[in-house]
């Protein structure tokens, strides 16, 4: 079985974006604020957007199941206040739940949180619990920088985040550490801000003893872990200078990387440097990089091709494609077993 742990609803019906634009306009003129009931998206609308896009490509490329969450760049936690984010997160999460209900063999949800700069993360817990307990979601996306590129929040090791971690441990779910749109012109959203955030999150964990407080906490750092695998010697050396344990002991029981790396040398490096028990298959399809690589004639984000071409055994590929996902996402494993898979 091939499980893609990193998918976003980037192809949602245009009515969703139109409603969001009205919500944003309402921040300046309250009379323009739409009601939630004014958003009308039918099951047929959802089927059309999924069948013609994500599901079509999954079948063409050979993926079986995608962990599906709201569009990351649309989370935009820096817009409005907590109430703005709470309403928007609830709408986006419900759409992903409906997709999973319509296509239960192919999609299962992960939740966007209603984060807002400077707001206590405890405010996210009701939406988190609803998504896990009522919707059957198997993970969350946690934005370490709700300010949108200005990094006004404490590091992930700070007690500020502990309410989220306590609930994650209680519910036995991992968090993908995933920022949203950058509103800082210094950082391109997908080319810089995303990769910077992946690297920053890894380093915040390296310099701390977070996992002593939460030994079962699990983070997935997407996009291949940012710069971490490429500069593994640097991080091993920094950990040594900081008198931390070896990285395998210090971080790799708790931190995992996905395969959203869009060329063969990158995947080869990832699977050579990082222990394979820490690598989970993902494509982020349909996402930031949608074109065809002129040197190969294939889509950049067809990451299964890279795994197939890598120097791996069948057993190692199984770990990346399925085994690690079932271990890191216990609720996913339980859901699959309930389906007889």
Q: Which residues are catalytic?
A: 284
Interatomic CA distance for residues 6 and 224, integer angstroms:
11
Closest CA to 161 of 135, 124, 126, 187: 124
Q: Are 134 and 162 in contact (CB under 8 A)?
A: no
Structure tokens at 140: 């969350």
Closest CA to 270 of 210, 230, 300: 230
Burial grade of 237 (CB within 10 A; 0-12, 13-18, 19 or more) = exposed
**Exposure on the CB side of residue 260, measured as CA atoms within 13 A:** 31
Structure tokens at 71: 């569009």
Closest CA to 155 of 209, 111, 110: 209
Interatomic CA distance for residues 2 and 36, integer angstroms:
36
Pairing of β 175-177 and β 3-9? unpaired
Closest CA to 261 of 6, 59, 9: 6
Q: Are 52 and 101 in contact (CB under 8 A)?
A: no
Structure tokens at 94: 């419900």
- Percent of the chain that is helix, strand, coil (3-state, to 5): 50, 10, 40
Residue with tokens 């500069």: 231
Cross-strand pairs, 179: none
Number of H helices, E strands in the chain: 16, 9
Q: Are 199 and 244 in contact (CB under 8 A)?
A: no
């Amino acid at each position: 079985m091939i499980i893609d742990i990193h998918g976003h609803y980037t192809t949602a019906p245009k009515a969703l974006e139109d409603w969001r634009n009205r919500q944003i306009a309402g921040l300046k003129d309250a009379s323009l604020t739409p009601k939630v009931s004014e958003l009308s998206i039918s099951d047929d609308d959802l089927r059309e957007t999924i069948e013609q896009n994500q599901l079509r490509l999954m079948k063409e490329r050979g993926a079986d199941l995608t962990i599906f969450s709201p569009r990351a760049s649309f989370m935009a936690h820096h817009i409005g206040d907590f109430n703005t984010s709470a309403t928007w997160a609830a709408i986006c999460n419900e759409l992903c739940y409906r997709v999973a209900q319509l296509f239960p063999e192919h999609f299962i949800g992960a939740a966007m949180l209603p984060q807002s700069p400077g707001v206590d993360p405890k405010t996210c817990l009701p939406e988190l619990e609803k998504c896990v307990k009522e919707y059957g979601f198997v993970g969350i996306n946690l934005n370490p920088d709700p300010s949108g590129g200005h990094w006004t929040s404490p590091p992930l090791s700070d007690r500020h985040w502990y309410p989220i971690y306590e609930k994650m441990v209680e519910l036995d779910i991992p968090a993908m550490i995933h920022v949203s749109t950058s509103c800082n012109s210094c950082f391109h959203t997908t080319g810089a801000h995303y990769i910077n955030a992946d690297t920053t999150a890894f380093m915040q964990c390296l310099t701390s003893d977070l996992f002593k407080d939460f030994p079962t906490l699990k983070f997935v750092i997407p996009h291949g872990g940012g710069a971490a695998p490429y500069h593994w010697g640097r991080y091993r050396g920094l950990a040594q200078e900081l008198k931390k344990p070896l990285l395998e002991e210090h971080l790799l029981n708790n931190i995992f990387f996905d395969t959203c790396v869009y060329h063969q040398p990158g995947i080869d490096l990832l699977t050579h440097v990082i222990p394979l028990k820490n690598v989970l298959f993902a494509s982020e399809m349909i996402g930031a990089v949608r074109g065809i690589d002129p040197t190969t004639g294939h889509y950049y984000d067809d990451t299964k091709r890279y795994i197939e071409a890598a120097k791996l055994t069948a057993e190692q590929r199984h770990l990346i494609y399925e085994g690690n996902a079932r271990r890191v996402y216990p609720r996913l494993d339980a859901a699959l077993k309930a389906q007889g898979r």
